[in-house]
Copies of this chain bind each other. A is one copy, B any other.
Amino acid sequence: MAPAKVTNKSREQRRRVKSTPKEIAQRIKDMSKGIVGDIKKHTDPTFITMQRGRSNVEFDEKKKILQLGDKTTSRQFLNVAHAKKFMQTMLVSAKAHDYLQHNKTAAIREIYYELKHTIANTKENTFEDQTESDGCIVDLEHSVDTIREKLNLHANPKGTLYGDIVLRDKMHHNDTFNCSKLGRGGWSVMSRIEPEEIEFKSVNAKYLLMIETEAMYERLVEEGFPRKNNCLLVSTGGQAARGTRRLIARLHQEKKLPVYCFTDGDPYGWYIYSVVKQGSMALAAHSEFMACPEAKFVGMTLDDIKTYGLENVTERMKDGDIKRAKEMMDYPWFQNAEWQEQLKKAIKDKVRIEQQALANKSLSFVADEYLPKKIKRKEFLP
């Protein structure tokens, strides 16, 4: 007997609950009990998870985030085409359960290496490639309606946090520290920012500014921007890592902090913003954990070039960027006059403008003029 089909509604409830590690471990156990029951009853053991791929991704117009639809997919052990994947999924499920029981966490590359071995008396390896275990992790996330961080798994960390926020790391001697008092370096954002581990003790800020480049983060710290404007800075160093997205989303959701995003003026930068705001297609099931649907875009826009006289310091757009712009024009969440205009302009003019190009006015221009004025006048893109 396969476990009872999880309906879209019950899934939402399970996800909405602030699930504890114990609850998640229990769900893995329940799923496994179903499989064991199948075996005992001599019926075909079946693992059920959500269908991925664009055909099951939808943009929720009300919540303004990307979500998975309710199409499921099943994997039968007695189907030759499914058997290996079934075995791999069971290995990953058992190991994740083990991590949760023993309060251990692991990188997704580590679980791959930990589980890789040659099956006794065969020449068959459990896994040939990390993509195989990664796929199983996603299946398990969907099957028990959670994110890998709550399975005690994580990807690599990246990103930096600065500002008047006191964090407490409950898993590390209850270290309590203020991220505006760590010099100009700031706090290295961990790969896992779950509430069971990282507590926001106090936040004294009017908003959170997400920044694409580390160098612009350093500029704003040097100019004293966060203190003067009473805000937090989070640099993502390109596309935001999951830990950084989770940090931003939690501050947005739990502390009701407005999120403003500041990227280069090109399709790549705008896409970074859109992922922080409404999630990505690849992680559509996780938007409720990771997205900030109320986030606003503060710059750079292609209009900034004329407004601030930056014609001299634009860069030629690459073919890949133009291709991306064309794709983005069709995405439901870019269907508004402002973004359509930017994307059309990008395709037509084929120029891009970097955040750091503002240094052409003066080093402090971004901190003294550009950002404060735009934020004060609410000159945002949706």
Query: Interface on A for B, CB 8 Å cutoff?
Result: 104-107, 109-111, 113-114, 116-118, 125, 154, 156-158, 160, 167-169, 171-173, 175, 177, 181-191, 198, 213-215, 218-219, 221-222, 312-313, 354, 356-360, 362-363
Knowing A156-B215, A222-B105, A362-B114, the reply to whether A189 touches B185 (Cβ < 8 A) is: yes
Please tell me which one of the listed residues B104, B111, B169, B358 contacts residue A184 in the complex, with CB atoms under 8 A apart: B169
**Contact between A183 and B191 (Cβ–Cβ < 8 Å)?**
no
**Which residues of chain B come closer than 8 Å to A219, judged between CB atoms?**
106-107, 110
* Alpha-carbon distance A191/B215, docked complex (angstroms): 9
Q: In whole angstroms, what is the CA distance A282 to B109 when docked?
A: 33
Q: Considering only CB atoms, which chain B residue lies closest to A224 in the complex?
A: B172
Residues of B within 8 A of A160 (CB): 188
Which of B177, B222, B312 touches A177 (beta carbons < 8 Å)? Answer: B177
CB of B190 within 8 A of CB of A363, answer no
Q: How far is the CA of A118 from the CA of B175 in the complex (A)?
A: 53
20 A-B residue pairs with CB within 8 Å? A104-B222, A106-B363, A107-B215, A107-B218, A107-B219, A109-B354, A109-B356, A110-B215, A111-B359, A113-B313, A113-B360, A114-B363, A116-B313, A116-B360, A156-B215, A168-B183, A172-B221, A177-B181, A183-B190, A185-B188
Q: Which 8 A-B pairs have the closest CB atoms?
A: A169-B183, A107-B215, A110-B359, A113-B359, A188-B188, A160-B188, A185-B188, A114-B359
In the bound complex, do residue B184 and residue A113 qualify as a contact, i.e. CB atoms below 8 Å apart?
no
A356 CA to B186 CA, complexed, in Å = 27
Q: Is the CB of A167 within 8 A of B183?
A: yes
Q: A116-B313, A183-B175, A363-B104 are in contact. Are A109 and B188 (CB under 8 A)?
A: no
**A357 touching B107 by the CB < 8 A rule?**
no
Query: Which one of B118, B157, B182, B222 contacts A218 once the chains associate, using CB atoms below 8 Å?
Result: B157
* Most B-side CB within 10 Å, residue of A188, A356, A363: A188
Specify which chain B residues have a CB less than 8 angstroms from the CB of A363 in the assembled complex: 104, 106, 110, 114
Q: How far is the CB of A113 from chain B (nearest CB, A)?
A: 4
Q: Is the CB of A182 within 8 A of B187?
A: yes
Q: Do B214 and A157 touch (CB < 8 A)?
A: yes
B182 x A215 contact (CB < 8 A): no
A149 to chain B, nearest CB (A): 13
